[in-house]
Structures are given as C-alpha cells and as structure tokens.
Amino acid sequence: MGKLKEKYLKQGIAEYAKRLSKFCKFQVVEVPDEKAPEKLSEAEMEGVKEREGERILAKIKEREYVFALAIEGKERISEQFAQEIDSLATYGHSDITFVIGGSLGLSPEVLKRSNAQISFGRFTLPHQLMRLVLSEQIYRAYMINSGSPYHK
C-alpha cells in the first residue's frame, strides 16, 4: 500500500531486488493508499481498509499463492520460511505474492484471499519499513535454500 518516498528504504529494497535477481523475478507493485485523517470512526476505518483491499485484490491473479502480512498471522523462523518458499516452488506455486497493508491493516477480503498469513511479531511497523524487512527475509530464504552461510 502506498508509494515509497524514503530514499534510504528505496535503496535498501533495490539492493535486495538486485541480489534476488539471480534466484527469482522480484517485483514490487505499489497500490495507491486511501487518504485518511488521523481520527476515524470504526466504520470509517473499515471503509478505508475495504477500498484499499479492492485495489489490492485487483492486482492479484488467481494462480498466485498469497501471503498476507498480519500481526495475527503465524510467526516463522527464517529456516521455516525458507522451507515454505522452497516447498511452494517444488509443488507448482512459483508465483508468490506478499501483501503488506496500509496503516490500518488489511481488509477481511484480502485476508480471506490469502493462502497464508505471516507475522513478523507483535510489533507494529510502518508498512514502508516492512517492505525492506520483507525483502531481506525473502533474500535470506533464498540464501538458506542455496546453502549459503549468509543467514548466520
């Protein structure tokens, strides 16, 4: 969700994208976020998530295996995550999509569409920073699967 503005985050993600190019086709798809004032009612928050969710779902193809990043999702250690990525590729799920929601999180429809929900812990992180963290973890997974000592 949203356009990445911070130069240092763009540079970090670009570095991991370059590193990942020898393993996979790595692509970031930005979806416009919904403008929302600081103070919103519960109904207004749900409306924002619903509109953002519609934009997200419009970008996801039927064949894609979708990981939704959500605090309520399952936490994994890096080795488990690497094994999961490897297994998906082995069993015909070569198109893997990771969805990072906006500041209010993901809509129930996006969570329902996801094949799995993944959590990076109970911390709330800015979605812009989460892109960098996720990029690094995807790279780490490929390095683990290739037998590289990178992840230690």
> According to the annotation, is 69 in a ligand binding site?
yes
- Token pair in block for residue 106: 């993901």
Among the listed residues 65, 103, 119, the one whose alpha carbon sits nearest the alpha carbon of residue 87: 65
Rounded to the nearest 10 degrees, what angle do helices 7-20 and 127-145 cross at? 20
Q: How far is CA 75 from CA 15, 51, 62, 105, 121, in A?
A: 25, 27, 25, 17, 6
Scanning the structure block, which residue is given the tokens 């009612």?
41
Among the listed residues 115, 3, 6, the one whose alpha carbon sits nearest the alpha carbon of residue 55: 3
> According to the annotation, is 12 in a ligand binding site?
no
Residues 101, 1 contacting (CB under 8 angstroms): yes
Residue list for the binding site: 69, 101
Residue list for the binding site for S-adenosyl-L-methionine: 69, 101
